[in-house]
Amino acid sequence: MRKPLQLAALLCGCLVTSLLVAAPGKEPGFRFANNWTVSPAVSVGAFWESNARDTYNDEDSGAGWRVQPVLSISHRLGERTDFGLNAFYTMERGFDSDDAQDNDSYGVNLNLSRKLSKRWGLSVSASYSHSENDEYYGVGWNPSNPYLGRIDTEESDHYNVNAALAYLGNRWNLSIGAGWSRSDTKGGNENDQYNLSLGAGYILSKTLTWTNTLAMTIQDQYCGNDSYSYYLMTGLSKVISDRLSASAQVGVSMQDYDGYKSETSVDPSYTVSVAYKASRKVALALSMNSRYESEYYGDTRDAYIWSHNLTGSVNVQWTDVLSSRLTVSGIYEDHTAPAIDYNDETRTYIQAAFTTSYKFNRYAALYGGVTWTQDEYDYGPGGDETKDNVRLDLGLTFTF
């Protein structure tokens, strides 16, 4: 009981201090010579989950706390170059002395943008993050062996480097992008991914734009089974009114799999999105995309997958200091097995999240939210498995 009381005292103390030191007319951050700005911030909060262990059958609830310091540095070099750095550390401790889940993560992001000329611009970004999740389940987690505890440790490192060159003309808009990413998990499993993309947009009228995207992805997996993917998308973006806009794209993807009997598949996909500003305070957005692709297990085509992703959101700015957001998203996957040896499967994932934020002043803000998720698998003759979870979050953010 002492830890929740200590956290509550820390929250109240930080809030009172922030209210007392607030200086009218001064924005957060420390400004130095030569256009350097340093902005430290920290978030502290508590959470509760109805399915703390994230399991199908054992839905035990649990609570915990979280602390996340963040440091942001920005620099303006002349009128053409901007530099930004963000570093963070997140520490989360959950449940109790018998059942614990400790999550630690930290990382840094670098961004550089340069206006080369009136129409050309260059942007470069790089990031690194590390996460470590330690789960300990006490004597009650396994009914078949009540004296056996369990400790799971998951560690991973992620690297990303991206560069983009953009051109903004009277009619044509062009972009060329390249990127590299690496995921390194515990046990030496390194996966590299390389991306190349070319985008082109042509303004047909004041309200209609034709957009095209050509992209290539190379996945270099640790197991040696590399894959090459090519994507071609084309579509239209339309400004219907001052409040309503929509876009639609259709395309195909081609997949080449080395190590998978050199099979090649050509699959369709499409994306539709709508944005509507109901008033000065209320904005709505809706998007849906679907993709058909192959899934492999070893050297065998395991299934054909139709995946559908639908996302809707409502943003409300109640007052200058109070805002809320409701987001509902759903994913439906239909796994069709090509052989009799495999079973057809479906997966339905639904998430609804409501968050709200209240700003006391320029330095302190209160946030809260509730998130409900349901993850359901239908294994055909094998039966169904469903996971449900409700998470409550409450905390404070301080920007100095």
Q: Is the pLDDT of residue 390 over 90?
A: yes
Q: Alpha-carbon distance 35 to 78, whole Å? A: 9
pLDDT in tens, 78-113: 889 999 999 999 998 887 656 667 889 999 999 999
- What's the confidence (pLDDT) of residue 399? 92
Displacement of CA 242 from its chain's centroid (Å): 29
Query: Confidence band (pLDDT; 50, 70, 90) for 297?
Result: low
pLDDT at position 14 is 45
Pairwise CA distance, residues 16 & 10, whole Å: 10
Find the length of the chain: 400
Q: What CATH number should be reported for the domain holding residue 182?
A: 2.40.160
Predicted confidence band of residue 7 (pLDDT cuts 50, 70, 90): very low
Mean pLDDT value across residues 43-67: 84
Mean pLDDT over residues 391-395, rounded? 96
pLDDT score of 34: 83
Q: Does 289 have pLDDT greater than 80?
A: yes
* Distance separating alpha carbons of residues 185 and 222, to the nearest angstrom: 11
Q: What mean pLDDT is predicted for residues 320-340?
A: 85
pLDDT at 341 over 60: no
pLDDT of residue 387: 87
Of 57-61, 64-68, 86-90, 176-180, the least confident: 57-61
Binning pLDDT at 50, 70 and 90, where does residue 300 land?
low
> What percentage of the chain has pLDDT greater than the value 90?
54
The least confident of 26-30, 180-184, 256-260, 343-347 is 256-260
Whether the pLDDT of residue 13 is over 50: the answer is no
User: Higher-confidence residue: 56 or 313?
Assistant: 313
For the segment 183-211, the average pLDDT, to the nearest whole number, is 91
Predicted confidence (pLDDT) per residue in 237-276, tens digit: 999 999 999 999 999 888 776 655 556 777 888 899 999 9
Tell me the two tokens of residue 166. 């953009």
pLDDT tens readout for residues 135-169: 655 545 454 554 545 556 788 999 999 999 999 99
Task: Report the half-sphere exposure of 369 (CA within 13 A, side-chain side).
Answer: 17
* Measured distance CA(281)–CA(217) in Å, rounded: 40
Structural domains of the chain, count: 1
Q: Provide the phi-psi class of 388: left if phi over 0, else alpha when psi is between -120 and 50, else beta.
A: beta
Q: What confidence category does residue 8 fall into, taking pLDDT thresholds of 50, 70 and 90?
A: very low
Q: Quote the pLDDT of residue 250.
A: 94
CB-hemisphere CA count at 13 Å for 22?
Answer: 16
Q: Reply yes or no on whether the pLDDT at 185 is more than 80.
A: yes
Which residue did the predictor score with more confidence, 280 or 15?
Answer: 280
Residue of 18, 12, 70 whose CA lies nearest to 360: 18
For the segment 204-219, the average pLDDT, to the nearest whole number, is 94
Residue range of the domain that includes 78? 2-399
Q: How far apart are CA 157 and CA 71, in angstroms?
A: 20
